[in-house]
């Protein structure tokens, strides 16, 4: 094998780098020059053929991984996939996901989409597609997308690993055109009290919100519940636009600031459509980013009441940096701060994405979801609201004004197993398939359905029988009766969803929500839990 003499290698490297160094006016110890020498050496001298494009991408990813958990690199196809849930319609299975340690983790299912309808949940891991493993095999994101995507009407079989379930679950998903809406529900929850649930903050959120407000005002709305539970965020400007509808002129909504970015403030213009309404904002541990901008602004300006559980704690601003081939770097350039000056970003160790991802699990184990007393803030994180000077805290999410604990006893083990094994969702699909026309004829509108419909016993019996077939049974009669307390309204809500839409689903299901009921107690002047 012919070898390059050492002096020839040095000459080649000097020749290759001198022009680039001249163009960039780089110093001798420039990190960029160092990287270019390494890249040119590999490209020109390495023993085997290398994919230099992939090497560059791996290098970018490695650099970003050493920064914060939210600075990321995306290929052109990944960019398209990330943007679709916030921008418009697309064909697919209807999930938002991230790749974590070579496994596809579902972050959120698209409301009323194919995956949600068959019972796939946030937190599920897709490990096989049509019996082909996609987890733990170093399959590229592009290849995974090819297997998940397909024309509307075609089917794909997904193998799912779910936390707390020993057996692998299997779901057959029929691909469809996914209507991506930001608002999951809009309805009058009580006389004079409107309810809007925002699923994410996308390009159409403000427009949808205004349309919803007009609808509710026609129905007599005076006060409003804005439900941001499970809302993982989205566009900062969309959050600013929503907050603008609620706050008086010149009220600070949020500001951003970073090492290389000067402070940028976002203030209300005083032309909002809800300046005279009482506002309650609902949050939980999955409310993040843009959701925390809205809830933080409402709390700091003493404009409304925040109810629920401490939010996620994502207060980093990413700037998209477009690369020539259509790929994208989302680089954290600033923190965002609530009007009182709180930084909502929870602590993290640079380069330790694993610990960051486990934060919610740790909070659950420490009892933070079930007891406000388990949440401790240092005095150094103490801030004060701007009008009433109430104490609030920074350093990791928005702590609500009224804490509502997670009821870990509400669902029996039997109920959880029926749900995890898809017994409930499959029975519902079967029931709707057989009874849709009759139900539509019997109940001309949702109000009639909500007032008169009762889940038939044969529906319940079918679920119990299907559970027995896979050895899912209640341990005794007491567990069965406790299960039925929540199963019956769940089934009624699912039937309403499939006959109408998600607003009707939440219309029914919210009556079982402790957080929603706390909001209603507050607005109706009843005792609210602190």
Here the tokens at position 107 are 């972050």
Run of H or E including 424: helix 423-442
Taking a C-beta distance cutoff of 8 angstroms, is the pair 251, 215 a contact?
no
161 among known catalytic residues: no
Q: How far apart are CA 371 and CA 64, in angstroms?
A: 36
Here the tokens at position 394 are 């920074």
Q: Which of 160, 141, 42, 186 is nearest to 503 (CA)?
A: 186
Annotated active-site residue in 184, 300, 359, 401: 300
Q: What backbone phi and psi angles, to 5 degrees, belong to 182? A: -80, -35
Taking a C-beta distance cutoff of 8 angstroms, is the pair 473, 414 a contact?
yes
Q: Mapped to the 3 state alphabet, what secondary structure does 430-488 carry?
A: HHHHHHHHHHHHHCCCHHHHHHHCCCCHHHHHHHHHHHHHCCCCCCCHHHHHHHHHHHH
Annotated active-site residue in 289, 295, 327, 503: 289
Q: How far apart are CA 33 and CA 104, in angstroms?
A: 36
Q: At what angle do helices 423-442 and 413-420 cross, to 10 degrees?
A: 80
Q: How far apart are CA 337 and CA 343, in angstroms?
A: 5
Annotated active-site residue in 117, 314, 421, 492: 314
289 among known catalytic residues: yes
Sole residue written with tokens 């959701």? 291
DSSP H helices in 283-370: 290-300, 353-357, 359-365
3-class SS of residue 169: strand
Run of H or E including 15: helix 6-24
Taking a C-beta distance cutoff of 8 angstroms, is the pair 257, 337 a contact?
yes
Sole residue written with tokens 């805290």? 393
Taking a C-beta distance cutoff of 8 angstroms, is the pair 353, 69 a contact?
yes
The separation between CA 48 and the C-alpha centre of its own chain, rounded to angstroms, equals 43
Active site residues: 289, 300, 314
């Amino acid at each position: 094998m012919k070898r390059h003499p050492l002096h020839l290698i040095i000459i080649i490297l000097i020749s290759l780098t001198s022009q680039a160094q001249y163009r960039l006016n780089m110093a001798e110890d420039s990190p960029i020059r160092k990287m270019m020498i390494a890249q040119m050496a590999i490209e020109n001298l390495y023993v085997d053929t290398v994919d230099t494009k992939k090497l560059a991408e791996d290098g970018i990813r490695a650099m970003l991984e050493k920064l914060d958990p939210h600075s990321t690199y995306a290929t052109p196809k990944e960019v398209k996939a990330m943007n679709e849930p916030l921008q418009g319609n697309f064909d697919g299975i209807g999930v938002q996901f991230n790749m974590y340690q070579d496994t596809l983790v579902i972050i959120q299912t698209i409301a009323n989409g194919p995956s949600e309808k068959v019972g796939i949940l946030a937190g599920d891991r897709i490990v096989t597609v049509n019996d082909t493993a996609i987890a733990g095999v170093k399959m590229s994101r592009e290849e995974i997308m090819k297997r998940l995507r397909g024309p509307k009407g075609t089917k794909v079989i997904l193998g799912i690993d779910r936390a707390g379930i020993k057996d692998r679950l299997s779901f057959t998903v029929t691909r469809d055109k996914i209507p991506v809406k930001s608002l999951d529900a809009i309805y009058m929850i009580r006389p004079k009290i409107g309810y809007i649930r925002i699923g994410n903050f996308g390009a159409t959120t403000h427009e949808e919100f205004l349309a919803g407000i007009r609808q509710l005002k026609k129905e007599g709305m005076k006060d409003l519940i804005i439900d941001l539970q499970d809302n993982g965020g989205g566009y900062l400007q969309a959050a600013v636009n929503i907050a603008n509808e609620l706050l008086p002129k010149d009220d600070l909504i949020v500001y951003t600031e970073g090492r290389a970015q000067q402070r940028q403030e976002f203030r209300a213009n005083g032309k909002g459509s809800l300046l005279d309404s009482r506002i309650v904002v609902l949050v939980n541990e999955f409310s993040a980013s843009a959701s925390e901008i809205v809830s933080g602004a409402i709390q700091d300006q003493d404009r409304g009441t925040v109810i629920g559980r401490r939010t996620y704690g994502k207060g980093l601003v990413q700037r998209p940096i477009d690369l020539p081939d259509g790929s994208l770097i989302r680089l954290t350039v600033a923190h965002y701060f609530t009007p009182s000056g709180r930084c909502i970003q929870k602590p993290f160790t640079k380069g330790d994405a694993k610990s960051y991802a486990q934060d919610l699990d740790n909070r659950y184990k420490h009892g933070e979801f079930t007891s406000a007393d388990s949440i401790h803030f240092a005095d150094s994180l103490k801030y004060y609201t701007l009008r009433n000077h109430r104490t609030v805290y920074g350093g990791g999410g928005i702590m609500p004004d009224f804490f509502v604990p997670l009821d870990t006893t509400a669902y029996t083990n039997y109920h959880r197993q029926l749900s995890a094994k898809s017994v409930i969702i499959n029975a519902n699909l079967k029931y709707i398939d057989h009874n849709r026309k009759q139900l539509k004829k019997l109940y001309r509108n949702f109000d009639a359905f909500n007032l008169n419909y009762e889940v038939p016993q044969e529906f319940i019996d079918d679920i119990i029988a299907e559970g027995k077939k896979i050895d899912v049974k209640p341990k005794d009669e007491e567990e069965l009766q406790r299960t039925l307390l929540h199963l019956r309204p769940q089934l009624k809500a699912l039937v309403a969803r499939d006959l109408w839409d998600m607003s009707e689903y939440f219309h029914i299901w919210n009556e079982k929500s402790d957080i929603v009921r706390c909001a209603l107690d507050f607005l109706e002047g009843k005792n609210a839990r602190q």
